[in-house]
Amino acid sequence: MRAIEITQPGPPDVLQLCERPLPVLKAGEVLIKVHAAGINRPDVIQRTGHYPVPPGASDIPGLEVAGEIVDGDLSGSGFSNGDMVCALVQGGGYAEYCAAPVKQCLPIPKGLSAIEAASLPETFFTVWSNVFDRARLSGDETLLVQGGSSGIGVTAIQVASALGHCVFATAGSDEKCRACEALGAERAINYRTEDFVEVIKSQTNGKGVDVILDMVSGNYVARELECLADDGRLVIIALLGGSKANIDTGQILRRRLTITGSTLRPRPVEFKAAIAVQLHQRVWPLLESRKIRPVIFKTFRLEEAAEAHRLMESSTHVGKIVLTLQ
């Protein structure tokens, strides 16, 4: 099969087209003929040598695919060979065929293309796990999404808004802010020209938000504590601003704040399978009714993976970048 490999850690040009043998399936896995594969920030970090591949995972980048099941262990899954699915994988997505745990496969939502479906798993699994399971966003609570125009951001805004929550978001331009508001954000904040702490305080009558989804960390953390409501939860899912933060821990005590975080890729299949069940029950109907929708910024052919990574690193996109193979 054709695949994209990382020839050595480095810039996008280290992504090269190659020939690889088809994946060897393990128990509980299926073989997917890939029609499309999503591009995600962890792929970029892996390419630069700063995101080690989990033991036993493919060294081929790519954490989400959509395509046709052509072989594998289908027992008890409800799937059959020939079914079109999207899947969260530990690696191997940038290839014509990819192995996926069948419990991490979901049917392509009715009305969606394979390209649209390939943009779903990594961001939707991540958002559900962190915003709704870990941070327990519920009731009439409010959410702030840092990086609202990213793949994670557009997903978090749409899902939380569709489930009845007031959502705020930050983005790096007025154009991106308007895009976030069009997707359901009550107010988007241009972090280059506005102070998100001041805006959140103003928008919430001084209360603050209940949950913050943070992909920046670093010096954002201290400011985020300031704009959390009492009993608020900050969940960190990436470290684009660095891993060190200087914070007032007294606030955590006085106002019962929680700082937490997680990474999804190394978690076991059963953990991800539980998220898949929740997504199928709670979110897939919203996709099928078009109350929320995939946001595809641009597609590239498999052999153009380096160009796709250059776009990802430019941060000029709104939504997802997808590789096409069919």
Determine contact, residues 32/100, Cβ cutoff 8 Å: yes
Can you give 245-304 as a three-state secondary structure string?
Answer: CCCCHHHHHHHCCEEEECCCCCCCHHHHHHHHHHHHHHHHHHHHCCCCCCCEEEEEEHHH
| pLDDT one digit per residue (tens) for the chain, 326 residues | 999 999 999 999 999 999 999 999 999 999 999 999 999 999 999 999 999 999 999 999 999 999 999 999 998 899 999 999 999 999 999 999 999 999 999 999 999 999 999 999 999 999 999 999 999 999 999 999 999 999 999 999 999 999 999 999 999 999 999 999 999 999 999 999 999 999 999 999 999 999 999 999 999 999 999 999 999 999 999 998 999 999 999 999 999 999 999 999 999 999 999 999 999 999 999 999 999 999 999 999 999 999 999 999 999 999 999 999 98
| Environment class of 27 (CB within 10 Å of its CB; exposed 0-12, middle 13-18, buried 19+) | exposed
| Closest C-alpha among 144, 160, 252 to residue 208 | 144
| CATH match of 124-261 with 3.40.50.720 | yes
Token look-up 């996109």 returns: 317
Predicted pLDDT at 291: 97
Architecture per CATH, 2-120+266-324: Alpha-Beta Complex (3.90)
| Closest C-alpha among 133, 138, 171 to residue 154 | 171
Q: Where are the domains of the chain?
A: 2-120+266-324, 124-261
Contacts of 115 (CB under 8 A, 6+ apart): 35, 36, 66, 296, 299, 322, 324
Eight-state DSSP code of residue 218:
T
Contacts of 224 (CB under 8 A, 6+ apart): 144, 146, 212, 214, 234
Predicted pLDDT at 240: 87
Determine contact, residues 59/85, Cβ cutoff 8 Å: no
How would you classify the pairing of strands 29-39 and 84-88?
unpaired
What CA dihedral angle connects 105, 111, 113 and 116, to 10 degrees? -70
Predicted pLDDT at 76: 87
pLDDT tens per residue, range 238-266:
998 999 999 999 999 999 999 999 999 99
What CA dihedral angle connects 8, 9, 13 and 19, to 10 degrees? 40
- pTM given for the model: 0.96
Which tokens is 273 given?
């399978």
Can you give 220-240 as a three-state secondary structure string?
Answer: HHHHHHHCEEEEEEEEECCCC
Predicted pLDDT at 103: 97
Predicted pLDDT at 67: 98
Q: Mark residue 139 as left, alpha or beta (left: phi above 0; alpha: psi -120 to 50; beta: remaining).
A: left
Residue type present at position 117: A
